[in-house]
Amino acid sequence: MNVISKEVMHVGEMASGAALTVPVYRIKGSQQGSEQGPSVYIQANMHGAEVQGNAVIFQLLEQLKHIELKGDITLVPYANPVGCNHKNGEYTLGRFDPITGVNWNRMFHFDASIIEPFAQEYVNCSSEKIEAAFKALMLEQIEQKLNHNIYGLTTGQRIAYQLQRLAHQADIVLDLHTGPISSKHLYCPEYAKESAKYFDIPHTLLIPNSFDGALDEATFCPWWQLQLTLKALGRDFPIRKNNVEGECGIVKESFTVELGSQEQIDLDVAHQDALGILSYLQYQNVINSNDYHPKAMVRYSCMLEDYKALYSPMGGMVDYLASFGEPLPAGEPLARILRMDNYGDGDPLHYINLDHPVIPILHFASASVNQGTELYKVFSKFSVL
């Protein structure tokens, strides 16, 4: 049975002086040296209403107690204590910092200007040396931001950078989120497409090498850009497991895992989600096991640029009709909008459809919408993964 250690990380202070804290759970891998598997960082609930990841971390810990680990795993539920407690009436808000209005998952750090000089300096070093030195450089950058910055940080940056310091120590990062009302889907860097088949998630968004402040990007973009820069200098630096049996190599992958809908905890579904994550961790040689395999399912992928938001053409009350997951034929209605103010002397029902097939992935959480509210997000072009 593995020992799970717990630490309470201080990430800030409230006006009253009350500490903002985050629990950090760690399980050590049993292997050392060349036998050691990749290390993993998993966090949940960066957005306040997206709570299901906490239940998945619970189920993962329950399983991981009994599995031999090759690599270290760090798990952080309630990653954003401000967002988590940000209630208004019966609803949880917590997607945006209420003071600055900035999305809590757009405050992570990556300065692309570090790549070129680093690549020039290390181009002739061993892959192991490049990996260690680049990891140290990224940690040093975060350390500078946190502790050597006389003008200070916003509340959100302080939380984000402390989480990022943990994430940069790992080879694999899983950031557990949910949509509003949503199917399960995965944000996956294009180069890690093969790995997406090991999660039990039917929809994968393939994302390019550009940084917009999210944790997944902040942890994979630096490695991906380093790889491309070294390549341009004539140096191969693979960051994906090569599929030869037993060949581990350097692995750097990050995913945002969208577990379904917000404001919901379902421990049975969380158990299934944990099994899917264990299947991926087994594939990556993090756990010493043969028990976890991805479920057979049709998996669809879509490039990020083809992931489209559909905005409501009118205000009204929405009856969301399209179910998630399966391609919706052209012309079939996604939703109908009720306008009781038009009853009797106008058109009380308005159908919304598109002229090409799409896969609906998520929709707005409320039935009442303004003109221009985001109604659905859909895969507008897709292929089988």
| Residues forming the site for Zn ion (CB under 5 A) | 47, 50, 177
Cβ atoms of 359 and 322 within 8 Å: the answer is no
- Percentages helix, strand, coil for the chain, rounded to the nearest 5? 30, 30, 40
Q: How far is CA 272 from CA 31, 172, 248, 366, in A?
A: 27, 20, 27, 27
Which tokens go with 125? 């070093």
CB-based burial label for 165 (10 Å; 0-12, 13-18, 19+): middle
Closest to Zn ion by CB, 70 vs 184, is 184
Closest to Zn ion by CB, 177 vs 299, is 177
Closest to Zn ion by CB, 74 vs 178, is 178
Which tokens go with 48? 């306040």
Closest to Zn ion by CB, 177 vs 252, is 177
Nearest-approach distance from CB 141 to Zn ion, in angstroms: 24
**Residue 145: closest CA among 102, 172, 186, 114:** 114
Closest to Zn ion by CB, 179 vs 294, is 179
Task: Report how far residue 128's alpha carbon sits from residue 14's, in angstroms, rounded to the nearest whole number.
Answer: 42
Q: What size, in residues, is the chain?
A: 385
Q: Which residue is at the shortest CB distance from Zn ion?
A: 177
The residue whose two tokens read 């940690």 is 139
Closest to Zn ion by CB, 94 vs 202, is 94
CB-CB neighbours of 306 under 10 Å: 15
CA 28 to chain centre: 23
Nearest-approach distance from CB 284 to Zn ion, in angstroms: 24
Nearest-approach distance from CB 45 to Zn ion, in angstroms: 9
Nearest-approach distance from CB 349 to Zn ion, in angstroms: 33
Closest to Zn ion by CB, 50 vs 200, is 50
Nearest-approach distance from CB 293 to Zn ion, in angstroms: 28
Nearest-approach distance from CB 256 to Zn ion, in angstroms: 8
Within 31-114, residue ranges assigned H as helices are 52-64, 81-84
Nearest-approach distance from CB 97 to Zn ion, in angstroms: 14
Task: Report how far residue 360's alpha carbon sits from residue 57's, in angstroms, rounded to the nearest whole number.
Answer: 27
